[in-house]
Structure 1
């Protein structure tokens, strides 16, 4: 007997604008206590109701459908005008005592792309995040332990990404053991988008501002990284992530299995668009890397 794909509903109990372009939405849900794990970088999908509906229409999960293939087929069978729009997110925080989950929505309207953690330009997640109110209900698929990926063990860790990666970076830093060394490069629109990133580890944070001409790829290429064995975690716009991974593996000589990477969004494309050949090639390589690490 398998374990059913986690499918549940969550409701908004609070909204806070933590930067001019980021809303932190707090959710409650009957299933959260059994779904949330004590680990960082928990990935899940939120399902947004179509216009005219207050609650998204979702298929019931199958107990033997561990990876959700049959559930997803049933989801696609819902007529498009009624089918919820689904977007990927990272859990920013979970308060087990209160049973509350926090998720950050990036509210960019002109930065392009459509992807993880609300970084969808003017897409449905950003529009919903701007207007979120207490009592609003979304569907949630996941998080699932089947997709948990431990970080490589090394003397130091590089975390690099844009604002869509900040929720995951924040949780990864909070879970670092005391004394662990980490270097963060985070690309954001401007100084007002910087966030407080706490950690028990020894962390150096470099903010890269687009309004000053900064770019994540240039900043990391020019970085003086620590001595010793290193590992990296990269996330954000897919093209930038690919470029950084090539740089770290080919030029910095980091082992391939020491570089964890995720393309959260793609310029001029949304999660509703079919994957490109390059997307498929990278997904295959990422899956192979995960198999080697397990």
Structure 2
């Protein structure tokens, strides 16, 4: 049997820090976190949060490779709330994991939890324990001449991770859609990065469509609200002629639907 690439970790909040008008960083610690690794870029993990009124998330008694059907079989009103997030950073001294939350008031359980998080609050991670873990979508192939990034604020932690990871001198054109000018955070990078911030109601797909793009072989990474990602992908593949394999895309959320609703039809 192959070695597992992910494992469960019972962790707690160490501290929180507001990064911008919308982004909040939650720093987590706990036993065994020294085993957590990250492939960088848009590395993802699963976060299990307690329901309102619970001290910790309720999960199946047995957490192994078959955890998912056991979790689904639990009462949805009781089981831990599962959400997918980007690993913003993993540190070994001290052992800490950072997760950045895009807040939107109390309209969803993850945002509500993050808004209220205080040191000691308990959550569970399903996190990678090997670098090559299948949880990284940003994979530019050899021969890529330049990179296009397109995201909204929910994917901003992944954009930041990608820009930190890319080699010095990489040509990058990036667009980030935000609802508040106060979400324009610093994005350190060694790249030749041209980042355009698009504040809604200005539309990100139209901004990309109007842009002059570099010559050469592109690689595009798109993430955020599903309709936004769809529209930009159609433009790149259709009007711009990007090869379909050169466009990685992920709908991080869908307007009018929660992750719970999407899971209920899978």
Give TM-score, length-normalised by structure 1.
0.83
Between Structure 1 and Structure 2, which shows a larger proportion of strand residues?
A: 2
Q: 1:181 aligns with which of 150, 171, 174?
A: 171
> What is aligned with 1:207?
197
Task: Show CA shifts across 1:150-180 (max 9, x none).
Answer: 5223111011000001000000000010111
Aligned pairs, how many?
Answer: 259
CA distance in 2, matches of 1:252, 1:74: 45
**Map of 2:2 onto structure 1:** 2
Q: Structure 1: which 4+ aligned runs deviate by more than 6 Å? A: none
| Other-structure match for 2:244 | 256
Query: In the superposition, relative to structure 1, how do residues 76 and 276 fare at CA in structure 2: closer, same or farther (>3 Å)?
Result: closer
Rounded to whole Å, the distance in 1 between the matches of 2:249 and 2:262 is 20
Give the corresponding residue for 1:61.
63
Give per-residue Cα distances to partners, 1:22-78, cap 9 Å, x unaligned. Answer: 21111113232212134221101111112232111222322xx2xxxx211111122
Match of 2:260 in 1: 272
**Equivalent of 1:151, from 108, 124, 139?**
139
The 5 A counterparts of 1:2-81 are 2-4=2-4, 5-59=6-60, 60-62=62-64, 65=65, 70-81=66-77
Which residue number corresponds to residue 139 of structure 1?
Answer: 124
* In structure 1, distance between residues paired with 2:246 and 2:181: 31
Alpha-carbon distance in structure 2 between the residues aligned to 1:275 and 1:15: 29
* Residue 98 of structure 1, CA deviation: 1.6
Cα shift at 1:101? 1.1
What are the residue-to-residue correspondences of 1:162-173 with 2, within 5 Å?
A: 162-173=152-163
Q: CA deviation at 1:143?
A: 3.2
Q: CA RMSD in A?
A: 1.9
1:87/1:168 CA distance change after superposition, 3 Å = same
Matched-pair contact (CA < 8 Å) for 1:50–1:85: yes
Partner of 2:111: 126
- Give a deviation string over 1:216-271, Cα, whole Å, max 9, x none: 11111111111111110000000110111111111111111111100000010001
Paired residues of 1:61 and 1:71 also in contact (CA < 8 A): yes
Whole-angstrom distance in 2 between the partners of 1:81 and 1:243: 35
* TM score, norm. by length of structure 2: 0.91
Whether contact under 8 Å (1:162, 1:236) holds in the other structure is yes
